[in-house]
Chain A
Amino acid sequence: MKKFYIILSIGILVVAFNRCNKAEDFPESGYDERLSGGAATIFDATSHALTNAMGGLNERDQRVHEIGDQTFDQTFVAPPSPIFTGLGPVFNNISCVNCHRNDGEGIPTAGFSNSGLLFRISQPGQDANGGPVAIPGFGTQIQDKAVLGAQPEAIFNISYADSMVTYTDGSSIVLTKPNYLLQNPYTSLPSDYILSPRLAPPLVGMGLLENIPETTILSFVDANDKNGDGITGKANYIYNEYTKRKELGRFGLKANTSTLALQVATAYQQDMGVTSYMQHEESADGQSQMNGVHGDVQPELVDSLLNYVVFYVKTLAVPARRNVSDPDIKQGSVLFNDLNCSGCHRPTIQTGFDQTLAQINNQRIHPYTDLLLHDMGSALADGRPDFLATGSEWRTAPLWGIGLLDIANGTPYFLHDGRAKTLEEAILWHGGEAQKSKQQFMQLNKADRDRIVKFLKSL
């Protein structure tokens, strides 16, 4: 009998506790949707909106960020020089900030001191590591400037052609397509070369993107399009020359770089001709331009400064969204999802663990990217493969901060070569996996199209 009471009591307790309120999923409405970068968000809508450090860095990290910031802005000069030496002999620009203006994007011109467009080059096929085939005497990037006494590898002439796009409602818009002509190569160039223009992209939230778990990115892959939305998504795997390993690509316009450190070191080497412990060979190694270089010391960039610049980029804050309660913007957000723009530009992702930096650790972020490659159609194709990326595939561009580019940079430019001057133009250039979404966009009335653009400007 005693057992019966015990069992009855336990039974009652179980039933009673079962009636307790179970924890439910935290409601969407409970999150502050302005916090695009989670704890790494900053409230600043001025021209410096993209240049802020994440809040709450400790004193040491703050100092490292500041030195990285100064080095990022620093002009490098031709060797020999006691300070900031190592520019060239061939290069695209003389400081990071000249292309990543205010930590935003570059200007889509070539050959000027403020030009932010560069050209990758290769021959058809793949090299031993699966990457683009370098061209002897040029490598895989054209440096269109050189120190005095040396010759640029080539220069570029850009011409533009207009075409008209007409919406279902009859209104139309002009799109401008750039055409790139390589001129004056310093030595002979094989006729089957392939060019890929790349505009310096904004640096928003790079530390957070680096901290997204690989499994999360891979979970977005839908190689066989099981859900039938026309969007597949492909991960790029690249060869990291420093670690000598094959790694998941997540940075660069074709997801052709795996880590921030590799991205920064390669930019110093290829874009400025500045060598470092990670990229210790001059971009012009073995070329005739090296003849004019005397008194150079390798590596040119001090190890700690490279690390500080990497840390600087990693700890840049994400600007908060503006006007999120505006009814048009709310409706634009709904339309963005309805048109399945969010199929690639994924609104919400959870970052992984990083106990060294609380601001990027386990954060709910809104980058609007899946970091995967997608076929963007023939109009945007460069025809140049880059590891697993085909000539028509590009990595989904993150959209956070995109609405602040006009304030940060004066004039905004969108897409891989900056051909679109408005967000509306950028949408209309989409094709391939985004064709269906674009067509739906074109069928909307003007008010709804404007709502989507207004929503994008709030990011």
Chain B
Amino acid sequence: MGSGTEDRRAHASGRAFVSILLDASTRVIVQGITGREGSFHTEQMQSLGTRVVGGTSPGKGGSTHLGVPVFNTVAEAVAKTEATASGIFVPPPFAPDAIMEAAAAGITLIVCITEGIPIQDMIRVKDFLRGYPAARLLGPNCPGLITPGVGKIGIIPQRITRPGHVGLVSRSGTLTYEVGSALSAAGLGQSTIVGIGGDPVLGLSFADVVQLFEQDRDTTQLVVIGEIGGSDEERAAELLGRGSRLKAVAFISGRTAPEGKRMGHAGAIISGNRGTAKSKEEAFRRAGVAVAETTDEIVSLLN
């Protein structure tokens, strides 16, 4: 059930380097598949060719929904379908448990779309995941990921994408669509688009995703869309500054946001002067990464 299984599948299908995290052979389940959002987005995922092999909805096991079997538990779903990836569309009170259930059942890519999970729940989840090093969590409060022409887990609309070689990673969902759409319109297709999520306590970080793109030979350019708060952007910048084969552009939203509105007082102790749009932009510039002032500028800086 480790990531080695995924790699073998990828090689077997001859698509080892076309994307990160998701390929055409990845077997995906949807947790919360019978809910309103779960149903709507499962259909969207299926229409793109994503290999959705089942879903969970406690109490509805044994039924069929959207043409795939519904299970009561993730463990059962994994046993019956050999799924390795999951998209989570359940409300905040249940989402933390859903993430841990997926990890415990051997899922290695967990994409949590749910917004509004309490921070303390996520801190406990992060601690739990340390016991499952093969499990990668994307999100929560994220739009998921899409590999144009292959499939998606999450809610990123396909119309903003086209296949290509730009890796796009972002904290914000809607800004991702904005930038993806501008790139596509300019003929700059994407290898994979990854939304890491806007919460303070997250799964995969910018630096984690940048490393994945770095290893993906199909990705030649990189766009990082950050925002104020925390210092994940600075860490990604440091990583890129140590040497990268990717031509990278960064954009930070929140330049005009007033101080103190989003960052707590005691939080400033931890991050010092980090966390402002200015410090993030400077970190990228120091790393030799071009910084775009508007989303439109991203395209011209890549060309």
Asked whether A and B interact, the reply is no
